[in-house]
């Protein structure tokens, strides 16, 4: 196994630096973490290609993800980038087809070990510098449209490309650290409750023993009684945005509101949505329609007001329920960053296991940089 550079002088005074300029800092963190050793010792996958070790193949995929190169074909330029190969210690950068074949084998036989390693690192970082007592899990999902014949891509809810097949990643973000605490890949027609319940249960199962309080936040995509019924027996506090069905709109608009600020009024009431096993507590916020329509993107307009409602079991005042939910923005920013900077939307192959493995590598690459920021701070 070739070794990467260990002593490199760094200077950021140049005027023509490319986006490869930060790679030396990334490699320093990999050394500090002992990432090569961890990958080699933790993943029981035998390499067919003797030219590249397991850790070299994984780093050959992780580095361009972090550099934002997008599609695997875009990594061809790294075959002729001597500085990149010197920093990473690769003998020569693998061909795109070699990387695709490796992704398929890795997804089939190595991904479970890789996810276990990721869990250990995540737990280690969450407990730095001391273990928390509260875990805040923010749920979010997105749609990744596909244009070829990718395995298990199905037609489901796709607001931008209707009737196009897609994949549906679902992520669970720790709201205090910004780490992606759990993530999974699903066909585009998967019901949200089918995807969410096992995901958050897996996230809760790997929480530190010091955790005494669990809270969950989610947008209206997760407004489903099956999800709420899974949370309540675990005594998990939740705030989930309600969907504005016609009967619910009537209840929201006729509630008694109390002013909580210059242009915000809040109300709380008990309501049993159709098909739910019982009533739940709801907190609603009302704002006058502004001259600038920025709030219309997130609130429902009815008459002269914009409304949003949250179902919750937290024993907080309506104002504090609203403020607690609004801190959830980290999850939405994470998905946006993964799409724009980590090429989350670039589907690398037609094989399901390879694409799922690529998704988990994107999540790992994001968390590695988040870990670096936490340790540096």
Judging by beta carbons within 10 Å of its beta carbon (0-12, 13-18, 19+), is residue 113 exposed, middle or buried? middle
| Residue 295 pLDDT | 45
- Average pLDDT value over all residues in the chain: 84
Buried b (16+ CB within 10 A) or exposed e, 245-256: eeebeebbeebe
| Residue 285 pLDDT | 95
| Residue 14 pLDDT | 57
Nearest to 255 by CA among 245, 265, 242: 265
| Residue 298 pLDDT | 53
Q: Which residues pair with 187 in a beta bridge?
A: 167
Average confidence (pLDDT) over 138-155:
92
| DSSP symbol at 274 | T
Nearest to 109 by CA among 45, 48, 61: 45
Sign of CA dihedral 151, 154, 160, 161: positive
DSSP states along 117-158: HHHHHHHHHHTSSS--SEEEEEEEE--EE--S--TT-EE---
Average confidence (pLDDT) over 238-244:
95
CA gap 17, 39 in Å, rounded? 31
Percent of the chain whose pLDDT exceeds 70: 83
| Residue 369 pLDDT | 83
Q: 352 and 161 in contact (C-beta within 8 Å)?
A: no
Q: 143 and 160 in contact (C-beta within 8 Å)?
A: yes
pLDDT digits (tens, 9 = 90+) for 330-354: 677 788 888 877 878 888 899 999 9
How many residues does this entry show for the chain?
A: 377
CA gap 272, 224 in Å, rounded? 12
pLDDT digits (tens, 9 = 90+) for 27-68: 777 778 888 899 999 998 887 767 788 988 898 888 778 777
| Residue 140 pLDDT | 92
| Residue 5 pLDDT | 55
CA gap 170, 179 in Å, rounded? 14
> What does pTM read for this prediction?
0.86
């Amino acid at each position: 196994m070739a070794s990467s550079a260990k002593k490199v002088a760094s200077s950021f005074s140049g005027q023509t630096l490319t986006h490869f300029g930060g790679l030396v800092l990334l490699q320093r963190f990999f050394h500090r973490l002992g990432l090569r050793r961890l990958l080699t010792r933790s993943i029981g996958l035998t390499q067919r290609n003797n030219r590249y070790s397991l850790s070299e193949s994984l780093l050959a995929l992780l580095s361009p993800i972090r550099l934002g190169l997008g599609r695997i074909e875009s990594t061809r330029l790294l075959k002729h980038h001597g500085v990149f190969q010197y920093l990473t210690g690769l003998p020569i950068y693998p061909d795109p087809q070699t990387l695709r074949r490796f992704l398929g084998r890795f997804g089939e036989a190595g991904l479970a070990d890789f996810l276990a390693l990721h869990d250990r690192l995540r737990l280690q970082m969450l407990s730095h510098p001391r273990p928390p007592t509260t875990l805040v899990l923010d749920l979010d999902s997105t749609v990744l449209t596909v244009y070829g014949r990718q395995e298990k891509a199905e037609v489901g809810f796709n607001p931008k490309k209707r009737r196009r097949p897609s994949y549906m990643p679902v992520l669970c973000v720790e709201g205090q650290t910004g780490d992606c605490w759990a993530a999974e890949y699903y066909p585009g027609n998967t019901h949200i409750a089918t995807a969410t319940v096992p995901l958050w249960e897996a996230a809760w199962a790997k929480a530190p023993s010091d955790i005494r309080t669990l809270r969950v936040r989610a947008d209206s995509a997760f407004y489903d009684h099956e999800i709420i019924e899974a949370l309540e027996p675990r005594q998990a506090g939740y705030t989930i945005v309600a969907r504005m069905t016609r009967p619910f709109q009537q209840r929201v608009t006729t509630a008694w509101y109390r002013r909580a600020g210059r242009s915000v009024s809040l109300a709380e009431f008990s309501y049993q949505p159709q098909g739910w096993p019982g009533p739940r507590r709801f907190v609603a916020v009302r704002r006058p329609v502004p001259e600038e329509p920025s709030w219309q993107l997130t609130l429902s307009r009815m008459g002269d007001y914009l409304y949003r409602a949250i179902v919750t079991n937290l024993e907080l005042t309506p104002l504090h329920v609203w403020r607690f939910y609004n801190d959830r923005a980290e999850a939405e920013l994470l998905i946006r960053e993964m799409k724009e900077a980590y090429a989350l939307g670039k589907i690398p192959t037609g094989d399901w296991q390879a694409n799922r493995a690529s998704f988990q590598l994107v999540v790992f690459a994001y968390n590695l940089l988040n870990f670096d920021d936490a340790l540096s701070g």
